[in-house]
Structures are given as C-alpha cells and as structure tokens.
Amino acid sequence: MPSLIDIRRRIRSVRNMQQITRAMKMVSAAKLRRAQDRVIGSRPYGGMLRTMLSHVAAAVVRDERIAADPLLAERPEQRIELVLITADKGLAGPFNANAIRGAQRFIEEHPSARIELELIGRKGRDFFRKRKAAIVGEAVNQPAAPEYRQAVDIANHLTERFRREEIDAVYLLYNEFRSVMSQKVKVTRVLPVEMPAETEPMDYIFEQPPEQLLAALLPRYVEIEVFRALLESTAAEHAARMTAMESATSNAADMLDRLTLHMNRVRQASITKEIIEVVSGAAAAE
C-alpha cells in the first residue's frame, strides 16, 4: 500500500496537470472562436465562386476550346497526389488519427494507382515518413492562422504538376469543421476541376471573352478550395483540442476525488493503528 507521502505527491502531480489542461482548454476556446469566424466567412465566398464558375461555364459550354483547358483534362487516375492536412501538435483527441486513417483508407481504395503524398502538418509527415511512403512535399511549423499566400503556393504547385501531366488527379483530405463536438474527415477532388452541372446562362456582359475568364477562374477555384481546407482543418483542430482538454480536466477532478478519499482512509487507518498501540501499551503496563 502506498504511503501518505506517495499519495500526497500523486495528488499534487494530478492537480498540476489539471491546471495545465484547463489552461490549454481556455487557449483552444479562444483560438476556436477566431478560426470559426474565418471558416464561416469563407464558405459564402467559395459558394459564390462555384456559382460564378457554373454560370461562366454555361455561357461557353459549346466552345470546344474549353474542353482543351489543362485543368479540365480527364485522364485515368493512375497517378494521384493526395494532400493530407494534419496538425503540428497532438493532445487533440482523435483529430490526427482520423485524418491519417482516412489517408490509409484512401490508399487502400486505389490499389492500382500510384499515390504521392503532400503532407501539411508534423503529425502526418512523421507517420508516413516512418513508413517510407512516396512524399513529394511537406510543410510543418504552420502559422496559428492559415495565410492565403500559403494556399496559393500549394495550389500553384498542384496545378503545375497537373498541367505537366505528372499526376492525373489531386485530392484534399482534411477534417471538416461542423461543430465544437463534431469534425468529419472529408475527401475532395480539386483537379481536374469538376465543372458544375449545366445551368441556364445568365445575361452577363463580359469585358473579356468568357473562355479567358473561365481560364482565370479555374486556378483561383483551386486556391480557394485549398485555403478553405486549411481553415476548416484549423478550426476542427482547435475544437478537438478544446474537447479533449475539457475531458482531461474532468477526469483529473475525478481522480483527485478518488485519491483524496483513499488518502483519508489510509490516514484514518494509520491513526487507528497508533491509538490501538497506545491503548495496548497502557493496558500491558497495568
């Protein structure tokens, strides 16, 4: 049975850990609010861009030059680049593990294709580096808030490889933010760009030929999709970490209650033993 000193030392250790987890929960809650605002603000922009893309595509749907755009080229998916977004740090519950499992499942679902990985985040990078996966790019030590410039760099790299026909398709895999308690792994194909369903052409007045406008919108669409994935993943990470730290703080409180009760029982047993020894000694002296 552990002594009172050992129990007190463990109580002190658990209490210190509880203070750390409570502080991490508060920090994640503050960061989540800002990340959530950015995610909610980006969704209408992405929706409007897709709507504009569909209207411009409807205006030039019969133009054969559009089908020749490199970013619309449909090829058999024999070489796929998967962009996996994870976190640089842990202590976020199943956030990183779910994304990594999603990537492994994606690879298993495409056994005949060569999968090349673009890894954003230290956790995903470390996992697949140890398993000697085909890694074509990596980015760690990400800023606290994703920057659009980073999304532009990633999108330019992807579009250039796709134009040179080094790859046949590009997919994004990340945790989508749904609520504080819910994050879902999402897989999205960004290249080749999937043209929206045909719609009735709107009465636009184009200052430049529609095919040129569409050619300018397609790279921007890829940039926005990458940026939205980074924002969604950041918000989901903070939500998962806040939930995990709240659970850890609650578990620490339960452990403190159990340790305190056990300490009181041990102390009571020790006092009772000493009283019995004193009484027995007094009785023997008589």
Structure tokens at 100: 């990594």
pLDDT above 80 (res 198): no
pLDDT above 60 (res 278): yes
Structure tokens at 197: 């369903």
| pLDDT of amino acid 279 | 72
Domain residue limits, the chain: 23-243
pLDDT above 70 (res 202): no
| pLDDT of amino acid 90 | 82
* Beta strand spans in 86-179 (E): 114-120, 135-139, 169-179
Q: pLDDT by residue (tens digit) across 7-54?
A: 888 888 888 888 888 888 888 888 888 888 888 877 777 777 777 776
Of 155, 189, 196, which is closest to residue 172 (Cα–Cα)? Answer: 189
Structure letter (DSSP) for residue 144: S
Q: pLDDT by residue (tens digit) across 221-248?
A: 888 888 888 988 888 888 888 888 888 8
Buried residues in 86-110 as b, exposed as e (16+ CB within 10 A)? bbbeebbbebbebbbebbeebbeee
Distance CA 10, CA 259 (A): 8
Structure-model confidence comparison of residues 189 and 205, the more confident one: 189
**pLDDT tier, 201 (very low <50, low <70, confident <90, very high otherwise):** low
Per CATH, the homologous superfamily of domain 23-243 is: ATP synthase, F1 complex, gamma subunit (3.40.1380.10)
DSSP string, 230-251: HHHHHHHHHHHHHHHHHHHHHH
Distance CA 250, CA 245 (A): 9
